[in-house]
Amino acid sequence: MTDRIDVKAVPSHHGPAPDRPKIQVVPLRGLPVAALAVVFVVVAIAGNWKWALMFSHVVGGGLWTGIDLFVGFIVGPILGRLSIPARAEFSARFMPKMVIIMPTVVMMTLATGFQIARKLGNLAVASPNHPWLIFSFCVVGIMAVVALGILEPANIAVLYEMNKPVPNGERIGRLMKRFIYTSGITGLMQIATLVIMTRVATQ
Partner 1 sequence: MSVETPATYSNEVDRPFPPIAWLSSAALGVVIVGGILMASYAPRRAPLGIAEGLLVAGLVLLGAAAFLLFRLRDFAWRTFTTVFKWALLAYVITAGMIEFAFVRDHTRGTSLVVVTLMLVVFALSVPLTIGFTVARFAQPD
- Chain positions contacting partner 1, by CB under 8 A: 12, 26, 38, 41-42, 45-46, 103, 107, 111, 114-115, 118, 123-125, 133-134, 137-138, 141, 144-145, 148-150, 152-154, 156-157, 160-161, 164, 166-168, 171
To partner 1, the closest distance from the beta carbon of 101 in angstroms equals 13
Under 8 Å between Cβ of 165 and 14: no
To partner 1, the closest distance from the beta carbon of 12 in angstroms equals 6
Spatial separation of the C-alpha atoms in residues 111 and 56, rounded to whole Å: 9
Task: CB nearer to partner 1: give 82 or 156.
Answer: 156
- Residue in 133, 131, 158, 163 with CA at minimum distance from that of residue 1: 158
Under 8 Å between Cβ of 80 and 179: no
Task: CB nearer to partner 1: give 73 or 114.
Answer: 114
Instruction: Collect all residues with Cβ–Cβ distance below 8 Å to 87 and sequence separation of at least 6.
Output: 5, 6, 7, 8, 9, 79, 80
To partner 1, the closest distance from the beta carbon of 180 in angstroms equals 17
Alpha helix ranges (H) inside the chain: 31-46, 50-70, 76-80, 84-119, 130-144, 152-162, 169-202
To partner 1, the closest distance from the beta carbon of 42 in angstroms equals 7
To partner 1, the closest distance from the beta carbon of 44 in angstroms equals 11
Task: CB nearer to partner 1: give 13 or 93.
Answer: 13
Task: CB nearer to partner 1: give 163 or 180.
Answer: 163
Task: CB nearer to partner 1: give 160 or 181.
Answer: 160
